[in-house]
Structure 1
Amino acid sequence: MHAFRSPLDAARRQRWVLALLIGCALLAMAAAGLAGSVALPAAELPGALREVLLARPEGMAGTLLDLRLGRASSAFVTGASLSLAGVMMQALVRNPLADPYVLGISSGAAVGALTALFVGAAMWMVDAGALAGAAGVSLMLYALARRDLGTRREAASDTGTLLLTGVVLASACMALVTLLLSIAPESRLRSMVFWMIGDLAGTSWRLLPWVVLAAALVLALRRAGALNVLALHADAAAALGVDVGALRRFLFACSGVLTACAVTTGGAIGFVGLVVPHACRFAFGADHRVLLPASALAGGSLLVVADTLARTVIAPQQLPVGVLTSLIGVPVFLFQLHQLHLRRT
């Protein structure tokens, strides 16, 4: 099995996978910088890139490239954060249908952020509201499913209980979102709707999401071996000396913070944390030493490509990127649900 490769084989495999995905990420960023309703002349590209690297965009080409690359960086960190959170949630509940969107963490972050937008709060209050909403849903998930998610025993229905609890909490959060939208002033309504669907228009480089992503990835990689065992069964992890309770608390907290940062950057973008981990697990195996960084890189690249399509397919008009991710994610979700049903019959 992938989870039990020798350290040398795993390291060699990880290097090749990371090299491949870093190349894909660079290509996606390059395409995002070049594509748009206004073409960049090839002769002006070297000068525009130099202006961007020196942080002094002066000409139109430099300014345009700076805006596009700033938006692409936001798309990348958002997709990477959602994908990494998806890997963590799927290892936590041992269910391929789990991701921050399905479990309601994204919806909780949306409630907090939209509440701050509704009252006209500063941007840092929007970030704080999203974090509070994501943390609130995570705590409720943990509290409501705590009896079933004991650290020593785990029944066959435990993960289904957590998944169903998340779906119910997501529905409650969406009811609150609908309430906020129904009473919001007309001047703020359009931005709130686009933000709720998932929209990266107007976004630029932000340091905080990158810091959170890097810290979460490093901390998760240090626990990759424990995640490999937990993904099989909690009883096996406990028997091997893993502190299952502490690991689960870490996964809840880390996925909540990652989701909050993603939501404040690009809105409630759905299904990235569901689709990307599946694709990476199919392509590269289930070893979390490879799966964690691979999902982060692939998720970032996917959202950069999706956002590039969203702003170019009907240019000069732009689509919310959440529309495209949902069109991809819903069929994948239904397929996985059908596969789970077949395995249980």
Structure 2
Amino acid sequence: MTRTYLNQKYVVVTLAWLAVALVLMSFIALAVGPVSIPLTSIWAALQQWLTPDHQLDVRELILFSNRLPRIALALGVGASLALAGAAFQALLRNPLADPHILGISRGAAFGAILGIITAAQLPFAPSLTRAVCSFAGASLASALVYALGRREDDPARLVLAGVILSTFLSSLNVLMLSLVDDVRLRNITLWLLGDLSNALTESLLFIGAALLLGLLVLLTQARALNLMMIGAREAFTLGVETARTRWLVFAAASLLTGAAVAAGGAIGYVGLLTPHLIRLIAGADNRLVLPAAALGGALLTLVADTLARTVIAPRELPTGAITALLGAPLFIYLLLRRR
């Protein structure tokens, strides 16, 4: 077996710092909003919440019925998008590869819009219909990109194919939106911009299960991804089953993207920017990059969502708009810094 040279202490310290930052930001997110809640009251409410037959007051209802589920959804969506982005960038050896660039988010959005439109005609819960259709759309888009990528080892061409697919699916999304009534058009448009306000139990369970499964699959492929970053042919000569690795990564990333889009809409820049920041901090070893990207994506999305619901409170901004405002300038800075 090949000896690992990844410093385990460095891994623990890096992940611990990210986890601490995530916990601190979660408490800040619980405290701020149209109704401010002191941190001492939050801690007391958490203790009382565990008490049997305790009657919740107004602040506790805000905490446990609104803010806590929304925070959990932001963490799940952000971690899923960043994890998918890190996996695609490693597999395709392209720093611009992420679910949005490759068209997979657009495929998930296409499926979700179709699910929203047809939910009334189906005997299932609307959230379940949207989740299943979103995953189906992401899987279909991923299969198309995967089929194009199998022909030759050319990551740049694969990304270009993803951009073309993304443009095509965006046109289909606009076409479908033109067929719905004004009320649904507004709701779908806000959701497409990134909306974490509707943190249903089904959405939390779906994103949690998808994140756990996707993370486990990608971690099993972390060593193979390290070798494939050198090149597919080189990895194959070193014993990597490149076709199997590529298929597993595409499948796991599609699951993560479909779940994230179904739960929170098409939130951009999380899957593109977070892996870049993590690699600046932690290096390029995917055994560390993948879990660190999940924590970093969760943190970035939570910060963006907290700003989205507090900047012009009691009104809210789309979370996707905040990630774009934060992500675009920072990504441009990183590109200029690397020159």
Give the alignment's TM-score, normalised by structure 1.
Answer: 0.90
Output the CA distance in 1 between the equivalents of 2:51 and 2:142.
Answer: 41
Q: Which residue of 2 aligns with 1:39?
A: 36
Output the CA distance in 2 between the equivalents of 1:28 and 1:190.
Answer: 31
Indicate which of 234, 247, 259 corresponds to 1:261: 259
Q: Structure 1 residues 321-330 or 289-298, which shifts more?
A: 321-330
Rate the CA distance shift 1:337–1:285 in 2: closer, same or farther, 3 A.
closer
Map residues 261-300 of structure 1 onto 2, 5 A cutoff.
261-300=259-298
CA-atom RMSD in angstroms: 2.1
Give the drift of 1:339: 8.0
State the AA in 2 paired with 1:236.
Answer: E
Conserved 8 A contact 2:27-2:39: no
Output the CA distance in 2 between the equivalents of 1:220 and 1:273.
Answer: 15
Task: Find the residue that maps to 2:7 and give its secondary structure.
Answer: helix
Output the CA distance in 1 between the equivalents of 2:88 and 2:40.
Answer: 47
Structure 2 unpaired stretches of 5+: 121-125
Matched, 1:145 2:143: no
Give the alignment's TM-score, normalised by structure 2.
Answer: 0.91
Give the drift of 1:139: 0.7
Map residues 26-175 of structure 1 onto 2, 5 A cutoff.
26-41=23-38, 44-53=41-50, 58-66=56-64, 67-121=66-120, 122-148=126-152, 154=153, 158-175=154-171
Task: Find the residue that maps to 2:95 and give its secondary structure.
Answer: coil
Q: Structure 1 residues 212-221 or 312-321, which shifts more?
A: 212-221
Rate the CA distance shift 1:53–1:287 in 2: closer, same or farther, 3 A.
farther
The count of corresponding residues between Structure 1 and Structure 2 is: 329
What fraction of aligned residue pairs are identical, expressed as a percent? 40
Matched, 1:228 2:188: no
Deviations 1:193-240 (A, max 9, x none): 011111111224512211221222122222211111111211221111
Output the CA distance in 2 between the equivalents of 1:327 and 1:141.
Answer: 28
Rate the CA distance shift 1:42–1:235 in 2: closer, same or farther, 3 A.
closer
Output the CA distance in 1 between the equivalents of 2:177 and 2:333.
Answer: 32
Q: Which residue of 2 aligns with 1:183?
A: 179
Output the CA distance in 1 between the equivalents of 2:91 and 2:5.
Answer: 27
State the AA in 1 paired with 2:69.
Answer: G
Give the drift of 1:315: 0.6
Matched, 1:15 2:12: yes
Conserved 8 A contact 2:101-2:166: yes
Give the drift of 1:285: 0.5
Conserved 8 A contact 1:51-1:57: no
Give the drift of 1:68: 0.5
Conserved 8 A contact 2:149-2:155: no
State the AA in 1 paired with 2:44.
Answer: G
Matched, 1:244 2:242: yes
Rate the CA distance shift 1:270–1:8 in 2: closer, same or farther, 3 A.
same
Output the CA distance in 2 between the equivalents of 1:53 and 1:263.
Answer: 32
Output the CA distance in 1 between the equivalents of 2:8 and 2:59.
Answer: 42
Rate the CA distance shift 1:64–1:328 in 2: closer, same or farther, 3 A.
same
Output the CA distance in 2 between the equivalents of 1:41 and 1:92.
Answer: 45
Rate the CA distance shift 1:337–1:177 in 2: closer, same or farther, 3 A.
farther
Rate the CA distance shift 1:328–1:45 in 2: closer, same or farther, 3 A.
closer
